[in-house]
Amino acid sequence: MFILPLISIFYIVIARARGARVCYWDLGCFTDEPPYPERLPQPPEALNVQFLLYTRHNMDDPQTLTVWDIEGTETSHFNRTADTKVIIHGFIDDTDVEWLINMKDAILYREDANVILVDWAGGSKTLDYTQAAADTRVVGSEVARFIIFIKYLKDYPEERFHLIGHSLGSHIAGQAGKLWKGIGRITGLDPAYPFFEGKPPEVRLDPTDAIFVDAIHTDGDANHKLAGFGMMDPVGHLDFYPNGGMDQPGCGESLFEYVRDQGVWGGGETFVVCNHLRAVILFIDSINSDCSWRAYPCSDYQTFVDGNCMTCGDAGCYSMGYDADKAYTAGSPVNMKLYMTTADSYPFCHEELHHVKLSLSKPPDCEEYKAEQLYLRLRGENKSTENTPLLKDHLSLEHKSDSFEFIVGSRKGIGSIRGLDLRWKPYSDNILSSLGVFAEWLFASDLGTCVKLDKVRVDTAGDVNGTTTEVVCTRKDLQPDITQTFQLEEGCL
């Protein structure tokens, strides 16, 4: 029988500015020496980590499970025949945030599971990020101890645990996996970047932390200038980079627009963390979705945008989100990077991806022309894509002829392509903008005689073989700020 005495927790601090060490009896010892953050973690009493159990028997009324509380755990609704999902929030959050409740509800709607929310608000609800990052090691140790407690008390296999962490919660899950090997799965939702990017595996989430580790990156900082809160480095067996892992669609609104729509506090928070939270939202959307969430293996996002990864290849495609583990087999490569696009609002999943190559030209006597935005809609025999903005920055037509490449997604398969709609919005700087309608007329009148659409090539992604369609074969004038429809012409295939 599994009976352990209640062990009092104490700590010993060796006070030095750097190189200090603290021990919390059954949780282990911790240091502030490199490669760890320059802080010692707080004691367990200050962090007050709690494990809140939800099942289909108590979907809205959690039961608090406590390590060493054998009677309370035995009489709880914990089901030893069901899988266990452990959800761990990140910096600033606690277990009352909306996304945690939404994820819990979505999982219980899909399956009869034990869903445990880990509340470490004693460490996360602070403006001191450095301290919160240091505290993740103690919280991770508490999660590992909890898993061991359940394993031996309930004769429950550790491979049935699935830890799901957001931001700092990803690394908490990784810490738990380092301390107790054999955890079934860890999912990192935009693992936190500061103090973890570029660090060795003992510091951050790593593929060795569970039998299967997957991560979704949505707020990366490719140039390491602290523009994003999330990591770009791969940390799992499968690493998914929707929309390149940064600058998510729908997250580009101004602060004013967010405040107008959500109020001062809600709008301000969304403005700051929209990209960082998108990993959570995409994961929740995937739980009860009938979309494939297919992502394509590729070396980097630019290669993907260039259309060089439009089939699954020998490595195979995988589904991002809740079902990411379904096709992965032991012995497959680790740190596999997979790319896809998503929509800017619910439902986010793009069932079908199309690589679009626009070939444009201009007469020799025309100067350089720029587009502020290009809008494209592909028309298929079954459906059409949404009117999709293609540019994150302006486009310059500098040479006699230039080609530009994009990825356009569709929520449903559109069938064989029959044509497209295209609108070119001219670029205007602040001086031209100040001239108003006259400047637009002046700029647009020249554009209509200078920019020609020569050809559009569309490659539709597929598991094994994609399909290719060329939509335009003769030079067409592109009129400014007018949606023009181009039909498939015979002889263009």
Q: So which residues are the catalytic ones?
A: 167, 190, 276
Beta strands in 203-264 (DSSP E): 212-216, 238-242
Per the annotation, binding residues are 204, 206, 209
Q: Quote the CA–CA distance of 62 and 76 in Å, as a whole number.
A: 10
Q: Quote the CA–CA distance of 306 and 467 in Å, as a whole number.
A: 16
Strand, helix or coil for residue 287: helix
Per-residue tokens: 459: 């490659």
Cα 404 versus chain centre, distance? 26
Instruction: Give 298-329 as a DSSP string.
Output: -S-HHHHHTTS--B-TTT--EE-STTTTSS--
Instruction: Give 65-126 as a DSSP string.
Output: E-TT-HHHHHTSS--TTS-EEEEE--TT--TTSHHHHHHHHHHHHHS--EEEEEE-HHHHSS
CA atoms within 13 A on the CB side of 469: 22
Residue positions counted in the chain: 493
Per the annotation, binding residues for Ca(2+) are 204, 206, 209
Q: Quote the CA–CA distance of 40 and 21 in Å, as a whole number.
A: 7
Q: Quote the CA–CA distance of 468 and 109 in Å, as a whole number.
A: 40
Q: Which residues contact 491 (CB under 8 A, 6 or more apart)?
A: 473
Q: Quote the CA–CA distance of 80 and 239 in Å, as a whole number.
A: 30
Handedness of CA 186, 189, 195, 198 (dihedral sign): positive
Residue pair 388/343 in contact by the 8 Å Cβ criterion: no
Instruction: Give 138-196 as a DSSP string.
Output: HHHHHHHHHHHHHHHHHT--GGGEEEEEETHHHHHHHHHHHHSTT-SEEEEES-B-TTT
Shortest CA distance to 475 belongs to which of 448, 449, 452?
Answer: 452
Largest CA distance in the chain: 89
Q: Quote the CA–CA distance of 12 and 297 in Å, as a whole number.
A: 48
Taking the C-alpha atoms of 411, 412, 413 and 414 in order, what is their torsion angle to the nearest 10 degrees? -90
Residue pair 367/402 in contact by the 8 Å Cβ criterion: no
